[in-house]
Amino acid sequence: MNLPPSFRLLAGTLLLGLLLMAVKFQAWWLTNSNAILSDALESIINVVAGAFALYSLWLSARPRDINHPYGHGKVEFLSAGFEGALISLAGLGILIKAGYNLVFPQELERLDLGILFTAGTGAGNGLLGYFLRRRGKRERQVVLEASGEHLLSDALTSGGLILGLGLVWLLKLPWIDNAVAIVFGGMILFMGYRLIRRSVAGILDEADMQVLREVVELLEANRKPSWIDVHNLRLIRYGNNYHFDCHMTLPWYFTTRQTHAEITALHELVDREHRGQVEFFIHVDPCTPRSCPLCQMPDCPVREHPYRRRLTWTTDKVVENRTHVLAPER
């Protein structure tokens, strides 16, 4: 089994996460700050979720088998959902402890060291999170993108903590520590919800409208005269792989060999221009006299009606489950 380069990247991220977690807990032990504790607790989630993401990436790289004809890529959505649930739990825990200490305050110590440690770990997480999210978007890998967003949320939390701890240090108002923890606990809870929402959408085969638009624009820009119509186009995502099926209208007099060549040309066009493995299932419909007004075939030997105009393919049109025809002239 060939593991993707992103597997080694996530493995390195996991090791770095362990190191940063140790630094954050050291900062909390020195300061007794709830805000820093919230940052340290999220680091535990980073490590656990990173380990699960690493496993899911390994599993999704396994080849298809008789029990998984579409591969194992959907485990990436489970990984993102698991990470989102852990993030949400961490945010809830932060809210509970910070709320308790607003009522029952505790003494803070050595905030200067706490600020220094938090700044260092936040910078590390921010740089790594930006890199992971950018690569995940480029390669359309949900695991990398989710891990990157998680680390960026951790860096954002660290930035807010530095501001809050600085105010506590300067103004000598310990309640600010808990107020900052509550604010960022709520933000972490919302980020967890977003990951869970995205995971559920992937498991339920919610269409990726951005990818669908890209494919439709590609077909529209490169369509051949013999491609009379495309409709009932659907998309299912399995990790980094995509499964498309659609109906395609071709001239009824084409031979089987000609029909196969047209389908192959469409598949190769999408496969060449689109990142990730693409699989097409295409049902071919024969043209009818109603197709003539939008058919651009030159010198068609069986044309019954004159060509009127080109019908532009858009996302809204090609997902319709019906053959497209032009309205009759008045």
Domain that holds residue 117: 5-203
Domain total for the chain?
Answer: 2
Which two tokens mark 295? 């058919």
Return the closest-CA partner of residue 312 out of 297, 326, 301, 322.
Answer: 326
Apex 238 CA angle, 270 and 143, nearest 5: 110
Q: Please indicate, yes or no, whether residues 115 and 220 belong to a single structural domain of this protein.
A: no
**Model-level pTM?**
0.57
Backbone angles phi, psi at 231, to 5 degrees: -150, 170
**Higher-confidence position of 154 and 234:** 234
Are 179 and 244 contained in the same domain?
A: no
91 domain residue, yes or no = yes
CA–CA separation, 213 and 218 (whole Å): 8
- Mean pLDDT score, 54-68: 67
Whether residue 185 is found in the same domain as residue 36: yes
pLDDT, average across residues 243-271: 90
Tell me if 324 is assigned to some domain.
Answer: no
Q: pLDDT tens, 86-100?
A: 778 877 877 887 787
The pLDDT confidence band at residue 303, using thresholds 50, 70 and 90, is very high
pLDDT of residue 273 exceeding 60, the answer is: yes
pLDDT at 173 over 60: yes
pLDDT at 143: 65
> Residue 320 and residue 12: Cα distance in Å, rounded?
45
CATH label of the domain that carries residue 214: 3.30.70.1350
With bands split at pLDDT 50, 70 and 90, how would you rate the model's confidence at 258?
A: very high
Tell me the per-residue pLDDT of 78-128, one tens digit each, with 9 for 90 and over: 767 777 787 788 778 778 877 877 777 766 667 777 778 888 888 888 888
Kindly state the helix (H) or strand (E) to which residue 177 belongs, with its residue range.
helix 175-203
